[in-house]
Amino acid sequence: MVPPIRNALLRQATTCLRQTQPTPLPHLSRKATLQRLLSTLAVLEQREGKLNHSSLAAVTAAQRMGGTIHGLLAGSNVKPVADEAAKVDGLEKILYIDNSDYDKGLPENWAPMLVENVKKGGYTHVFAGHSAFGKNLLPRVAALMDVQQISDITHIDSEDTFIRPIYAGNAVLTVQSSDSPKIVTVRGTAFPSGAAEGGSASVEAGVDPKAPCPTEWVSENLAKSDRPELGTAARVVSGGRGLKSKEEFDRLIPALADALGAAVGASRAAVDSGFADNSLQVGQTGKNVAPQLYLCAGISGAIQHLAGMKDSKVIACINKDADAPIFQVADVGLVGDLFETVPELTEKLGSLT
Ligand code: FAD
């Protein structure tokens, strides 16, 4: 039997405890709670007022992960581009910084500015395309924030676990990070570029620390072409060392590409031999492409080349060696001399149009 005085004290304590219990929150699943906490800043890359494909793919990747997504644009007169970016599906806010120091995408200028915006917004993630710009910028941002950088992801398992190919795509690495923020570059061909319409994000000025710029832009030398851009083209025609010379490459490959409305690509051996410009190289140390059709001639199919094109929807090849490894990944293969078959194919395609 509990003595009356102790009984009264117990009752008092229970009432006190009840009063200090927190009001129960409405039930939220772990996933829903996480989604509320996630916030990504997507770095938006643009050239001449057009957002590039890999930035839009980074937005899609962030959408798949969930949470709030803001975009960041910087450069001179960038406000109209920010207004356009506001229409991109999934973005809730666009931060823009109107300053010509950011025009050429120099990572030494961009990195401190991006860090300030990440800190101010308290973002959990920073995503950018795995383009030359993204690859240059995000490691610097990660170093300044003392976190690791996660490169070239092709899949998102969860908010802290990402998949990326390694060894020229021959192995797949799962990267789990406890860092905050997580600084991630996204492989453009692994995610669709997302709808550039349908959204209605707010647009506001971001933070510009106006840090002294340690690097000065001198000049650029751009290869101009009326053909589709290699990284985003729906069709690509590539030539390799089997073309034998620059003259033959220029005679055969662009003509076949034009007959298909395709971009021109090349193997590294073709680039190293001077047949094609370096900007056309497809592969591990070149561009990653994933077109609807990848047609190549005189390319053996080394793993470093496959790393850049094996995600193409249909792969077709022309090679005189029936044992060339390219036939192992090709959906359609033609064993034959390219100096005969390529002109014939070009002519037949031309007569169809
Ligand atoms: P080859 O391997 O010499 O093949 C030429 C092919 O043409 C042969 O299969 C031959 O049968 C065929 N051929 C010849 N004559 C004819 C004809 N008349 N008709 C039909 N077919 C013909 N390579 C890349 O492409 N991209 C990269 O990004 C890349 N990165 C690399 C990174 C590293 C670290 C290293 C070590 C290598 C890299 N390489 C890369 C190089 C790669 O290993 C190969 O050397 C290169 O891809 C070979 O190019 P190729 O197929 O044009 O030449």
| Spacing, Cα 136 to ligand 1 middle (Å) | 27
308 lines ligand 1 (CB under 6 A): yes
Give the number of residues written for the chain: 353
What does the pLDDT read at residue 352? 72
- Is the pLDDT at 245 greater than 90? The verdict is yes
What are 299-317's pLDDT values in tens digits? Answer: 999 999 999 999 999 999 9
Q: Per the annotation, where are the binding residues? A: 241, 267-268, 281-285, 298-305, 319
Q: Are 175 and 166 in contact (CB under 8 A)?
A: no
What does the pLDDT read at residue 351? 78
Mutual angle of helices 107-121 and 132-145, in 10-degree steps: 60
Q: Are 90 and 68 in contact (CB under 8 A)?
A: no
What are 139-189's pLDDT values in tens digits? Answer: 999 999 999 999 999 999 999 999 999 988 889 999 999 999 999 999 998
Q: Which of 167, 245, 246, 320 to mutate to test the pocket of ligand 1 (most atoms within 8 A of CB)?
A: 320
Separation of alpha carbons 37 and 218, rounded Å: 42
Residue with the two structure tokens 């000065």: 216
Classify burial at 33, counting beta carbons within 10 Å of its beta carbon; exposed 0-12, middle 13-18, buried 19 or more. Answer: exposed
Query: The whole model's pTM is what?
Result: 0.81
Provide ipTM, 2 decimals: 0.99
| Spacing, Cα 121 to ligand 1 middle (Å) | 47
3-state helix, strand, coil in the chain (%, to 5): 40, 25, 40
Nearest residue (by CA) to ligand 1, atom 39, is 304
Mean pLDDT, the chain, whole residue set: 90
Phi-psi region of 232 (alpha: psi -120 to 50; beta: other; left: phi over 0): alpha
What are 190-232's pLDDT values in tens digits? Answer: 998 876 677 799 999 999 999 888 888 999 887 778 898 898 8
Nearest residue (by CA) to ligand 1, atom 36, is 304
What are 48-99's pLDDT values in tens digits? Answer: 888 988 999 999 999 999 999 999 999 999 999 999 999 999 999 999 999 9
- Is the pLDDT at 277 greater than 50? The verdict is yes
344 lines ligand 1 (CB under 6 A): no
Separation of alpha carbons 148 and 184, rounded Å: 9
User: What is the gyration radius of the CA atoms in the chain, in angstroms?
Assistant: 26
